[in-house]
């Protein structure tokens, strides 16, 4: 993320998105006391949108150096 950016879509914490060979999506969120596997398609959709927002806010590889 750019250093001058005061907030971004990743402030809610880390997330992982998993796609199965048959194209089903799952999410995984981790906190201080454990992790949570997310299978509800509506909740996974929110995580996919958050990931897309993070990608749009992130620096490109050249600027990351």
| Residue recorded with tokens 């958050």 | 50
> What does the block give as tokens for 53?
């927002």
Q: What are the domain boundaries of the chain?
A: 15-58
> What does the block give as tokens for 9?
């879509």
In this predicted model, what pLDDT tens digit does every residue of 7-56 receive, in sequence order? 544 555 678 999 999 999 999 988 778 888 999 999 999 999 988 888 88
CA atoms of 59 and 21, how far apart (whole Å): 30
Q: What is the DSSP string of 4-59?
A: T----TTTT--EEEEE-TT--EEEEEEETTEEEEE--HHHHHHHHHHHHHHHHHSP
pLDDT-derived band of residue 60, with 50, 70 and 90 as boundaries? Answer: confident
In this predicted model, what pLDDT tens digit does every residue of 6-20 receive, in sequence order? 654 455 567 899 999
């Amino acid at each position: 993320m750019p250093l001058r950016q005061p907030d971004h879509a990743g402030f809610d914490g880390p997330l992982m998105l998993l796609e199965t060979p048959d194209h089903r999506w799952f999410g995984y969120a981790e906190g201080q006391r454990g992790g949570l596997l997310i299978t509800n398609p509506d909740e996974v959709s929110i995580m996919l949108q958050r990931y897309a927002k993070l990608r749009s806010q992130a620096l490109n590889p050249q600027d990351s150096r």
